[in-house]
Structure 1
């Protein structure tokens, strides 16, 4: 029990440091905790180092990462320490790709009921994103491989990273992946979003072709990519698809994409739908506008429209969405 209390005490002491401006003594203690045997303690210490951009801890973090690679199944279950270290180093914009490359290639098969399961997918995803930042186009071969990773998290990260790297080569890889498709809708959406990040003027038309109500899953993926792009040119295709959709679920996803755009014209469209649309459509518009309920300007504008229309069902929808 003493050992368990000791671990709890260490974790409690580290939690107390979150959000603080650290003294030199606290920084020294933090560096010592990065060398701890417990992966939970190291993960907690790494998070604080990254939060405070303590670049002086980079060496200790790299050493800890290598230490947890020696016997990972025993010493770092679920890759908690390694993942925390990679995230911390990336948060402090660490310029050396060594740890990130090891993370992007690491597979950790842990025993589960009936077999084994790879627990390193989040670690590989974090490594992929960090490598794109550090190496740019130099990371393209690894990013292409990651786009075929068995884990959806890694494929999504690879698509995002390719969009961030940009350039003709990244665009062509993402275009090919979009044409082939993916079994996971989120991965497919990230591929389309990556294309828009590479060159919106070139790839917008291609992404819009997937706004096809006859393929609801592909349509939802394209809508999300367009919404996250924040492109003004994405609004009209989203609204046009919404008008031609018969599925209430698909229409809900399309309205959510409009809300995510965060463009003035998008808010105008949703507000007009609340003001004059059929009650079911007005209620759906209020539901998606609710993601902005903490924005006082949007809240007051929507409240004013609801009060002016003065319909009980719409007032109830507003209360549900804006609390």
Structure 2
């Protein structure tokens, strides 16, 4: 009787079993075999386990798997999910396989959909950009910069984040250029603003403040995520003339600062602001709902205001039994 061949389900079960291998290195031979499997899904799952187990010895197998995936028809790995998992594994394992990342940076995968054909490799290019920077490729900024003008927003966001992570001040000017050109995707502008503030805050705080004054909501979030003490004053000024929607975003920006001054300011607003604004303050402060001391203070202020509406919003955002 012929031996039963391993089915897809058998292989997948084995890969998941290998995730619990003790010691982890015992999984190396089998994972290497699965990384060469003809099924891209199984390759991706094996790559994830290799990363989780930190099996650096599998880096060459991951590189070979990535090269093989690049040569497959688009329909074999729809959405490039297997390629993404292989790249994520190489990044986790800190593999300085620069040629592989440069291939990924230029990879395009056009897939047929019900509408026009779609390029699904934006995240592959984005991950490759991150990989070049994180593994200290000497010319990473030169390789990554063109990706700021990629057709897919996810690749542009990744390029902006990767340029920020270079810690090279000149990359702030590159990000500013993308902002000056404009971008229809708020996430791209937000990534650029965050990078500008991280790399050269003194130069670009006024630029991001001007964007906020012009009504660009992502500027408020970028200011908050910057954690710059000077950003609080900018956000306070913006709040003075914000409409209801912008008010929500500006208050969230203040909460994102996570400084004592910012939280004190929000608590003061909660105690004194009109009910409509106080609701937005509670929503912003709910970002810190796992801080029991702050939650208790918010609950005390809400209770003192004796507003059913504020009490209801507080219960929805923080939990019905929080705050005392």
For the pair 1:112 / 2:113, whether they are aligned, the reply is yes
Deviations 1:225-251 (A, max 9, x none): 111111121111011101111x21111
How many equivalent residue pairs? 316
Give me the whole-angstrom Cα distance separating, in 2, the residues matched to 1:275 and 1:114. Answer: 52
The runs of 4+ residues in structure 1 deviating greater than 6 Å are none
Give me the whole-angstrom Cα distance separating, in 2, the residues matched to 1:196 and 1:119. Answer: 30
Deviations 1:161-204 (A, max 9, x none): 11111334312211222222212111111111111121112221
Match of residue 235 from structure 1: 232
Match of residue 92 from structure 1: 93
TM-score by length of 1: 0.91
Q: CA RMSD in A?
A: 2.2
Aligned counterpart for 2:278 among listed residues 282, 302, 314 = 282
Secondary structure of the 2:233 match is helix
Written as runs of structure 1 = structure 2, the 5 A alignment for 1:171-210 is: 171-210=172-211
Give me the whole-angstrom Cα distance separating, in 1, the residues matched to 2:139 and 2:187. Answer: 26
Match of residue 314 from structure 1: 310
Give me the whole-angstrom Cα distance separating, in 2, the residues matched to 1:295 and 1:46. Answer: 37
Give me the whole-angstrom Cα distance separating, in 2, the residues matched to 1:119 and 1:188. Answer: 21
Written as runs of structure 1 = structure 2, the 5 A alignment for 1:237-316 is: 237-245=234-242, 247-316=243-312
CA contact (8 A) 1:164 1:197 kept: no
Shift of 1:75: 2.9
* Farther off after superposition, 275-284 or 45-54: 45-54
Shift of 1:83: 0.7
Give me the whole-angstrom Cα distance separating, in 2, the residues matched to 1:22 and 1:235. Answer: 50
CA contact (8 A) 1:156 1:186 kept: yes
Secondary structure of the 2:118 match is strand
Give me the whole-angstrom Cα distance separating, in 2, the residues matched to 1:59 and 1:144. Answer: 28
Give me the whole-angstrom Cα distance separating, in 2, the residues matched to 1:288 and 1:243. Answer: 17
* Farther off after superposition, 154-163 or 300-309: 300-309
Shift of 1:135: 3.5
Give me the whole-angstrom Cα distance separating, in 1, the residues matched to 2:47 and 2:140. Answer: 25
Structure 2 unaligned segments of length 5 or more: list them.
320-324
Structure 1 unaligned segments of length 5 or more: list them.
none
CA contact (8 A) 2:225 2:253 kept: yes
Alpha-carbon distance change, 72 to 300 in structure 1, aligned in 2, over 3 angstroms: farther
Alpha-carbon distance change, 275 to 58 in structure 1, aligned in 2, over 3 angstroms: same
* Farther off after superposition, 128-137 or 191-200: 128-137
For the pair 1:146 / 2:147, whether they are aligned, the reply is yes
Give me the whole-angstrom Cα distance separating, in 1, the residues matched to 2:91 and 2:118. Answer: 26
Give me the whole-angstrom Cα distance separating, in 2, the residues matched to 1:152 and 1:299. Answer: 37
Secondary structure of the 2:108 match is coil
CA contact (8 A) 1:136 1:165 kept: no
Match of residue 44 from structure 1: 45
CA contact (8 A) 1:97 1:135 kept: no
Match of residue 220 from structure 1: 217
Give me the whole-angstrom Cα distance separating, in 2, the residues matched to 1:4 and 1:119. Answer: 33
Shift of 1:127: 0.8
Alpha-carbon distance change, 174 to 296 in structure 1, aligned in 2, over 3 angstroms: same
* Farther off after superposition, 280-289 or 129-138: 129-138
